[in-house]
Structure formats: structure tokens, C-alpha cells
Amino acid sequence: MVLYFFLIIPFVSGVFGEVRYSIPEEMKQGSVIGNLARDLGLDITELGKRKARVVAEGSKQYCELSTETGSLLVSERMDREELCAQTAVCVVQFQLLLENPLKVYSLILEVQDINDNSPVFTNGQIELELVESTILGRRFPLESARDPDMGTNTIKHYRLSQNDHFVLEMNKQVNANAYPELVLKKALDRETQSDYYLTISGIDGGNPLRSGTASIHIHVLDANDNVPVFSQRIYKAFVAENSPPGTLVTKINATDLDDGVYGEVTYSFSHVSDKTRGVVEIDGVTGEVRVIGLMDYEDVNVHELDVQAKDGGGQSSHCKLIIDVIDLNDNSPVISVKSASSSVSEDSSPGTMVALLNVYDLDTGSSGRVTCHITDNVPFRLLSEVKNYFMLVTDDILDRETHAAFNITITAVDSGSPPLFSSKVIPITVSDVNDNAPVFSQELYTVNIPENRPQGTSVIRVTAEDKDFGSNAKIHYSLQLKSDPAATSFLSINSETGDIFTSHPFDYETASHFQVVVSACDMGNPPLCSTCTVRVFVSDQNDNAPVILYPVQSSSFIAEDRVPLAAPKGYLVTKVIAVDADAGHNAWLSYRIIKATEPELFSVGLHCGEIRTLRPFYEDDEVKQTLEVLVEDNGPESLSATATVSIALGDSLPVVDELSDFGEDESAPSNSNEDLVFYLIVALASVSGLLLVLISSVVYVKLCRRSFYRGGASNLPVFPPTYGGPPHYSDVSRWGTLDDDSRYNSFMTTGSWRGDFRFSTGGSVGSGGGVGGGSGIGIIDYDTMTKRSLPPLKNDSLVRLTTSSAASLKPKPRGRLSVPRKV
């Protein structure tokens, strides 16, 4: 530290004992201000003794006296600025006191200024706000710096940091402190540089120089000289359709370089088409575009909007927003029936169109690709020849009787993910065609009807069914006339119900069985018909009384039968022959003598009607004998007839031997027996021969039938009439199929005199023995009928036929054959 010693001038004033010193401020403690003893001419040794001391006037003691050297020393820091502030001359007064004797010396210290203070800006941070449009040359006064030092030590000049826009100029107004001013020299642009940071320095004139600085912050304020600028000219956004309200579509970003309200951009739609209105909205502040309504691709697939951005100063600009709606599979396919015939005829050929459908989907892409299919297992299929058009055609033969109606479900599926589908049911009825004939429940109806039932008796009901529908299934029954006019006349039919009635009472004896053909026709166009056979068997009733054929009845006595007087006991006198037109039990006749001239003389065979003698005749027996024979049938209410037999006994008549072998043979001569044996052998041999011939012919016939069966009736064997008549005259032919249990096949007639075999030749009245079975009487017609209506005879029938024919060929006692002699 350098001490500056000012020239200490011992200033001896006129006043006694006054010393004046001039010292720089801020001297170090202990620094010597001056030698007071010498300057005042005092003895140093005296100082101590006289208790010399320096007293200040104020509270502060800046100096002290060194009693050893007599020097005045700085005891405390002296700051001129503190002691005297801004007074030009700074003086501090002291007194030096001496005691013994008291002596006061005045001490004056003049404190000199030194440059110990730097210039200071009270506000070290200067803030300035300038509008960027400020005109050049505009001055902005700045605060001046302060320096407490005096004179040259105070502020001398200011300096501004380096910059392009501003300079500093001093304002030297009269009677005022000079202060610096900031002058704008170059136009400002906030958008280029909005803030300038400068420093201003105040520099004093001391030596060395001291300076103080302040920083200046110049904030350039905005002028609305910019329009909002969009980050893109065209915004493109993609939004899935059906996005819920609130979905962010895009964010519009426009920037305005201006500051404050001039840079505050608000967004709005400047042009919205009608279709877009209500679909999206824009947030005026953030520029966010959001969905608010229904975004439907099928309605509008692209939204085009004009967006305006406007700043607070009213400047605006525009951009375009294009929103592409992304199609979603939100539409089910639509099936629309363009035409459909509700019914299709069952005889339609495959490929007949039933319905035409249009199938479409409002979606696009794969969501709009539609495939179509129908229910399985139906005789229909879909055919598509034009895009989106499907024809429903028949694929098979239809049959209303199997399937009268169909519900065809058509399902359309699009290819979206997940796929949507819809379906439609097309009801189709199959209309009827008369393709089914009526079908009888039975092909053959068999019915038994007792004879003599009144006209209109119900016989049977035939029923037929037709699977068709309506009039095609309505059945009309009728008797087929041409099948057999005679039989048809027996019956009538209810054409609606199929009930068959008798047209008049039947007579078993006229026709025991017949058949008619019933046809059932539907009402279709053309009608279809089918037939069935009704076979009617008339069952017999006992409505015919026996008829006496022999002897011929007359009112007067005619001795038809003569008996030799010598006739032995058991002699066959005659035979009552009666027939009954009925059949079976009703025709089973029994004979009884109810009245006789000589009761014990004759007997009648109960079933054969043979009248035999009970004893030999006596002389006195009456020549004319009359018998009344009651012939009764075996019906439930038996009918009867009475035969009157007249017998004449005659002397001259020879006794016929053959007739007696039946009775007691013991009376016959032995040689006649030998003759008989011979005859028997001859007859047996011839019969055996005939039998052989017959058997071989039967075998031949069988073979012929087998090989020539299809040749027709001409191949059937024809037996010689002598063998008992045509074969079909037998019972077998009469009954056709004799298996029928209700037939009485064993009681045809018992018109034989010995009952040992039956006559089987139904029609043998004229051709056989003349007195054959009576059962054929009155039914001669019958053969022609059976020939037509009955099937050819079976082989077993033929065998039976032939055996019965053979039976009729057995050797018959000549006498027996010739018994019914006419007298």
C-alpha cells in the first residue's frame, strides 16, 4: 500500500496554536499524519508529562497522538464520502489538550478525495420493451450511473456493448444531469430476433479508471405482420366408418409467427358440404378434428372440408381437409326376390325357373362379395348367369305325392371378417298333376251272398285311393259293362262311395257265382282308371222242393212197375227217383214210405229210394200194390214231395237173376256162378286194359299240357263223350277253385240206386245214363259262363277229373244200369 503524503503544511494561524493538515481519505490505521510536537514547537518529553491528547468533536476519534514521537497517527478509517458526502472540501476538526497548564491547540484535518468508488447503476438490469415496428431514431432514455467520488473521480462517459441496432447518445440538457439515451438505428424484426441483451458501462475519470455496468434487456414486441401458416396444404385422414363420436380424425396445425393474440390461431371450417355437416367438428383452439355424427361409408365415402385458421388480429388462411372413410363390413347382404312363382307343377322338367333373386351388399371390397347357397337335399339349385342375379331352378323330378311343399332357405354370405349373412325363405308348393291312378285296397274282393236277398241289399264296398290332389284324386266307381253284361245286371254301384248293391234277388240255382269288374276313375284330365274284381258267391238256400222224376205221377193208377210173384225177399222192385234243385244238405234227399196197401211188404232205401220186397209174395197178396213215398230234403226247413208208386204183381214174369245176387245168393245155381266168374275175369281184363290206356293217355295229356300250355284251349285233352261227358262237366269245373271251404262238394246229388259212387257229370242229363244226377238241371248255361270267367283248370283238378271219369268207367252191373226200365 502506498501512502500518499500530501504536503503537510504547518498552518500557523493567527490564532494561537492552530495546525492544519491535509490527508487523503482512506489512510491506513497508524499512518502518520504529521509531527505535531515539532509543528507546534512542543517538547516531546513534556508531552507525556502534560498528558497531551487529541480529542475529536464527534463521537468518532479518527486520530491519536503518539506521545513518544509527537506524531499524529490515523487511528480509524476516514472515508471522505462518509464524512462529508458531496461537499467539495471536507474538513475534520480536533483539539490537542495539554495539562499543567492547560493548553488547547486546534487541529484541522482536511480529507482529500481519492477515486475509491466505481460508477454504479442503481438498477443493474434495465428492461425495455419495443414494438418491432418502432421507427428509426426513436430515443429511449436510460438511467445514468452514480459515482460518489468527486471531480474527475466521478462519471466521465458511458459505453454500450456491441450491437447492430442501437447506439448511445448523451442528453445534455441545460440545468440537468446528463443522461444516456438509447437510439434505434436499425429496424427491428421480432420474428428474426425478439430479444437483445446489451450492456451499458459508466466510466469515471479517476486514475485508474473505474467503471460500472448495467445490462439492458430489449424485448421486441410483436406487430401482427404474419398470417397463420398451415403445416400442410392438404390434410388427409382415414377414419373407419361407424367410429364413435369423439374419435380423433386428425389434428390441424397452423402456426402464426406473431406473438400474443396476433399469434393465437383459432380454427374453424369455412366450407362444409351438406353431407358432411354434423359429422365432424373442429376444436377451435387445438385444431383437433373429431367425429360427432354417423360416419357411414355407404352414405359418403369421402368428406372434403375447408379449414380456416385465424389469428387474433383477423388474419386468416385456409387449407383443405380430406377425410377418407374406411369401409367396414357393416352391411348384411340383401336378398331381394325379383319374381317368384309360388307353385311349380310336379311334371316340370329339371331346370324350370322358380324364382329370380337379386343379391347385393352395400359394402365394398371383400365385404361386398356375396356368395349364395340354399338348403341341402332339395330338388332345387341356384344358377347365376348375370352377376348378383340368381335363379332358383328345379334340379330334379318333382313328385307332389312325396313332397308337396318346400321351404327353400336361401342364405347369402359376404366375405367380410367376420362375415355377415342374411337368409330368406321361399315357400314353394308343388302343384298336382294327375299322375297317379286310383288303387283299390284289394285286387280281388270275394263275397258270399245268400240267394233270395231283396233288391238293394248291400253286397260289399270297394274302396280305391288316389294319391293325387283335388279332382285328380276324386274317384268315380263304375261297373265295367263289357266284362260280363249278365253278371253286371245283378249289381249296381254307388259311384261316389263304391258301395255295391244287388239289382235283384239272386238265385243260386241260376247262378251260383259270378264276378264283375269294378273300375275306379279319377276326375283328372285325362282320367286315370284301375279295376278290381268282385267275385260273388251265392250261397244256397232251401228254396226248392224235391221233384219226383220217377215214377211219373198221375192221378190214376198206372202200374208202372211189375214184380214176378216168385220174387224172393229183398227183390229190387223199383226205385223212386227224385231231384232237388238246391245244393248240399238242401238237396240231400231221404225217402220214407208213409202209406202202403200192404205195410209189411215193401221197404224203401232211406237215401237211395230203392223199393225192395220185405218177404216173398203170397198167393193172397193183392195184385195191385200202391205205395206213397215221402221224399224230403235235408234243409233247415225241409221241403218234401210225395211219390205214389204203383206196383203190379204178375205171375208170368220171370225172376231176373242178376237182380237177386244182391240179396240172398245161396239160392243161385253153382254153374251160373261159374259163368259169372268167367264173365268177371273177362270184364276185369278188359277194364284193366282200358285203365292202362287211360293212364297212358293221362300221362300223355299231362306232357302235352306242359309243353303246349300256351297253345290255348285247343290243346286240352278232349275225352270221348262216352267216358262220361266233357271233362269240364265235373264238379271240379263247376266250382273252379274248389278249395273254397264253403262249397259242399260231396253232396251234389244222391240220385244213385246203390249209393256206392257218385255221379260227377253235372250236365249228364242228356248224354249220360239218361237218369244222371239232378244237380245239373237248370244250370246248363253255367258252363259257358265258367269257361269265360274262370282260369284254366289246374293239373290236380285234371287228375281228379280223370279219376272220377275213371270211376264212372268201372264195370257196372248191367242189370243195375238197365234197372229203370220203362214199362
> What is residue 746's DSSP assignment?
S
Residue nearer to ligand NAG on the CB measure, 297 or 469 = 469
CB of 179 to ligand NAG, least distance (A): 44
CB of 395 to ligand NAG, least distance (A): 17
Bridge partners, 648 (sequence order):
562, 624
CB of 318 to ligand NAG, least distance (A): 17
Measured CA to CA, the distance from residue 39 to residue 120 in angstroms comes to 42
Give the x/- contact pattern for ligand NAG in 173-212, rule: CB under 6 A: ----------------------------------------
Measured CA to CA, the distance from residue 25 to residue 81 in angstroms comes to 9
Bridge partners, 196 (sequence order):
218
Measured CA to CA, the distance from residue 276 to residue 271 in angstroms comes to 10
Residue nearer to ligand NAG on the CB measure, 325 or 357 = 357
Site for ligand NAG in 317-346 (CB under 6 A): none
CB of 792 to ligand NAG, least distance (A): 52
Amino acid at 489: S
Residue 616 dihedral angles phi and psi, to the nearest 5°: -65, 155
Contact in structure between 400 and 347 (CB atoms under 8 Å): no
Give the x/- contact pattern for ligand NAG in 402-431, rule: CB under 6 A: ---xxx-------------------x----
Q: Of 544, 548, 481, 456, whose CA–CA distance to 507 is shortest?
A: 544
> What is residue 656's DSSP assignment?
P
Measured CA to CA, the distance from residue 40 to residue 42 in angstroms comes to 6
Residues in the chain: 823
Which stretches of 23-156 are DSSP H helices? 36-40, 44-49, 80-83
Residue nearer to ligand NAG on the CB measure, 285 or 718 = 285
Residue nearer to ligand NAG on the CB measure, 406 or 537 = 406
Residue nearer to ligand NAG on the CB measure, 427 or 689 = 427
CB of 256 to ligand NAG, least distance (A): 11
CB of 363 to ligand NAG, least distance (A): 30
Contact in structure between 322 and 357 (CB atoms under 8 Å): no
CB of 190 to ligand NAG, least distance (A): 18
CB of 540 to ligand NAG, least distance (A): 57
Amino acid at 708: F
CA-based angle 20:23:28, to the nearest 5? 130
CB of 282 to ligand NAG, least distance (A): 14
The count of residues interacting with ligand NAG (CB under 6 A) is: 7
Residue nearer to ligand NAG on the CB measure, 103 or 403 = 403
Q: Of 709, 811, 714, whose CA–CA distance to 757 is shortest?
A: 811
CB of 310 to ligand NAG, least distance (A): 16
CB of 433 to ligand NAG, least distance (A): 19
Bridge partners, 214 (sequence order):
200
CB of 425 to ligand NAG, least distance (A): 7
Measured CA to CA, the distance from residue 426 to residue 130 in angstroms comes to 86
CB of 390 to ligand NAG, least distance (A): 20
* CB proximity list for 386: less than 8 A, separation 6 or greater: none
Q: Which of 231, 232, 442, 554 binds ligand NAG (CB under 6 A)?
A: 231
DSSP-derived 3-state class of residue 805: helix
Phi-psi region of 202 (alpha: psi -120 to 50; beta: other; left: phi over 0): beta
Residue 788 dihedral angles phi and psi, to the nearest 5°: -80, -45
Residue nearer to ligand NAG on the CB measure, 355 or 500 = 355
CB of 323 to ligand NAG, least distance (A): 19
Residue nearer to ligand NAG on the CB measure, 405 or 668 = 405
Give the x/- contact pattern for ligand NAG in 564-593, rule: CB under 6 A: ------------------------------
CB of 251 to ligand NAG, least distance (A): 6
Residue nearer to ligand NAG on the CB measure, 207 or 407 = 407
Residue nearer to ligand NAG on the CB measure, 286 or 673 = 286
Measured CA to CA, the distance from residue 505 to residue 629 in angstroms comes to 33
C-alpha cell at 597: 196197401
Measured CA to CA, the distance from residue 219 to residue 205 in angstroms comes to 33
Q: Of 735, 780, 772, whose CA–CA distance to 752 is shortest?
A: 772
Q: What is the 3-state secondary structure (H, E, C) of 202-237?
A: EEECCCCCCEEEEEEEEEEECCCCCCCEECCCEEEE
> What is residue 123's DSSP assignment?
S
Measured CA to CA, the distance from residue 469 to residue 476 in angstroms comes to 14
Which own/partner contact pairs does 733-739 have at CB distance under 8 Å and 24+ positions apart?
733/762, 733/783, 733/786, 733/790, 733/793, 733/797, 733/801, 734/762, 734/782, 734/786, 736/513, 736/786, 736/790, 736/791, 737/790, 738/797
Which stretches of 62-127 are DSSP H helices? 80-83
Residue nearer to ligand NAG on the CB measure, 321 or 801 = 321
Residue nearer to ligand NAG on the CB measure, 234 or 680 = 234
State the pairing for strand pair 280-282/266-271.
unpaired
CB of 220 to ligand NAG, least distance (A): 21
- Residue reference for cell 253153382: 670
Contact in structure between 500 and 462 (CB atoms under 8 Å): yes
Give the x/- contact pattern for ligand NAG in 378-407, rule: CB under 6 A: ---------------------------xxx
255 binds ligand NAG (CB under 6 A): yes
Amino acid at 790: L
Residue nearer to ligand NAG on the CB measure, 258 or 327 = 258
- Residue reference for cell 274317384: 475
CB of 286 to ligand NAG, least distance (A): 7
Q: Of 219, 260, 191, whose CA–CA distance to 126 is shortest?
A: 219
Contact in structure between 409 and 357 (CB atoms under 8 Å): no
Site for ligand NAG in 427-486 (CB under 6 A): 427
CB of 279 to ligand NAG, least distance (A): 23
Which stretches of 709-735 are DSSP H helices? 731-735
Q: Of 180, 212, 182, whose CA–CA distance to 196 is shortest?
A: 182
Residue nearer to ligand NAG on the CB measure, 231 or 273 = 231
Give the x/- contact pattern for ligand NAG in 623-662, rule: CB under 6 A: ----------------------------------------
Residue nearer to ligand NAG on the CB measure, 469 or 571 = 469
Contact in structure between 495 and 477 (CB atoms under 8 Å): yes
Residue nearer to ligand NAG on the CB measure, 177 or 286 = 286
Residue nearer to ligand NAG on the CB measure, 318 or 535 = 318
Residue nearer to ligand NAG on the CB measure, 344 or 370 = 344
**Residues at the site binding ligand NAG, with contacts judged by CB under 6 A:** 231, 253, 255, 405-407, 427
